[in-house]
Amino acid sequence: MSTFPDYATLQVALHGAHVLQVTLHRPDVLNALGTQMGHDLLDLWRRIDAVPGELRCVVLTGSGERAFCAGGDLKERNGMTVDAWRAQHELFERAFMAQMECQLPIIAAVNGVAYGGGCEIVAACDFVYAAAAARFALTEVKLGIMPGGGGTQNLARAVGERRAKELILTGRAFSAEEAHAWGLVNRVCGDVADLMAQVLATAQAIAANAPLSVRQAKRSIHYGLQADLLTGYRFEIEAYNRLVNTEDRLEGVRAFNEKRPPQWKGR
């Protein structure tokens, strides 16, 4: 797998050989997104994408039971010059894009509040599980700014244009159950322990599948939805054909016929 430095704002831990749990870890400020976390997240996503090694799935959560991420660190931003603000935001932009471009599936495990940039980190994941007490909001218009971490794009794609406009333009908070009903959240769990148990079980189920197949399927969905149907289907076929001449394709068919679990090699 990729090797990681000792991040100041993140904790990383393996669950088995193939699942990586990443925890946003600034509990004293509800895991708020500051400059150092921006650097750490950008480095993390780039390392995972460049050299995934044995990794097959990532679970992203927050430290503690109160917050996934409370959004941008407004104490750090207080008094920032315009140039410093823009430089920090460019860093955040690169981190968000690296997350969205990561070849491995990323599951958000929302353990508490996910506001502002925290909600955008959630929306940039491939899919989302949430504790029952979790709450979400994109509150930027209350601060004289607007979502700038993909929020206007990813939320609208998840919940639809009209719902996204309502939530972003009012800046109001919404519950895990509402997020589930509208399409942002895939599953509402109980407490944080139940959330993590269910998320890790799903991550392990993904990790048990052929890794190249999972990555190609993710790419096909992600990029295909940005095109018309026929162009998306052409992309799907290109992604499919890259799997035909792989050892894993041969192993999958062989294991099925031999009635045994496949041994994936990722090649």
How far apart CA 10 and CA 21 sit, in angstroms, is 10
Please, which residues bridge with residue 137 across strands? 115
Pairing of strands 187-189, 57-62: unpaired
140 is annotated as an active-site residue? yes
Q: Per the residue annotation, which of 93, 120, 177, 247 is the catalytic one? A: 120
Percent helix / strand / coil, the chain, rounded to 5? 50, 15, 30
How far apart CA 52 and CA 264 sit, in angstroms, is 15
Decide if 36 contacts 9 (C-beta within 8 A). Answer: yes
Please, which residues bridge with residue 20 across strands? 14, 58
Q: Per the residue annotation, which of 140, 161, 166, 247 is the catalytic one? A: 140
Instruction: List the Cα angle 22/28/30 in 5-degree steps.
Output: 60
65 is annotated as an active-site residue? no
How far apart CA 219 and CA 106 sit, in angstroms, is 13
Please, which residues bridge with residue 124 across strands? none
The alpha carbon of 126 is separated from its chain's Cα centroid by a whole number of angstroms, namely 5
Q: Which of 31, 195, 127 is nearest to 7 (CA)?
A: 31
Q: Give residue 112's identity as a one-letter amino acid code.
A: G
Please give the positions annotated as active site: 120, 140
